[in-house]
Structure 1
Amino acid sequence: MTKKQLNVRVDATTAEIARARAEQEGISMNQYIEKLVQQDMGETGRSFVDAAAQFMKEYEAAFLAEFGEHEAAGQRR
């Protein structure tokens, strides 16, 4: 995997906390930041799926009324 360099500026307290957390986990600062971004991406994906499921639950009756049961389920007559 090709790596890209990022330059990030944070306040001194944030930098100290990040360094300490990386050290506690026994990983480099780069690995720690990469891990945080990957976790954030996973949470965003879950949030999207949850929101889509809630949308479908709320509007299921409207889809069925408009398109009928077969079309709403993706089955064409």
Structure 2
Amino acid sequence: MAKTQLNVRVDEATAEAARARALQRGVSMNRYIEELVLKDAGEIGQTFVEAASDFMKQYERVFAEEFGRERREAPDAAPTPHEGLPGTT
């Protein structure tokens, strides 16, 4: 993969902390910063997935009532995986 150079400005304390952490981990400063960005991007993606999952759990019954009704009215509609389970409609 092609690399792109980024130039950033941070205060000296932040730069020193980054150098020290990279040295402790045995990686270059470039690799350390790259890992931080990738980790942060992954956490954001994970946060989105968790929020979407929580939303679906919270509104599952509403979706089932609204969209399940349409599926049941269609003559060739196959049952959804949750139909017929206790506590579902």
TM superposition score normalised by structure 2: 0.76
Query: Structure 2: where are the runs of 5+ without partners?
Result: 78-89
Q: Which has the higher contact order (CA 8 A, sep 6+)?
A: 2
Once superposed, which parts of structure 1, at least 4 consecutive aligned residues long, lie more than 4 Å away?
Answer: none
CA distance in 1, matches of 2:25, 2:42: 20
> What are structure 1's unaligned runs of at least 5 residues?
none
Residue-by-residue CA offset, 1:24-62 (whole Å, 9 max, x unaligned): 111110000001011111111111110010000011111
How high is the sequence identity, in percent, across the aligned residues?
60
Aligned to 1:12: 12
CA-based RMSD: 1.7
Equivalent residue for 2:3? 3
Number of corresponding residues? 73
Q: TM-score, normalised by structure 1?
A: 0.87
Larger radius of gyration: 2
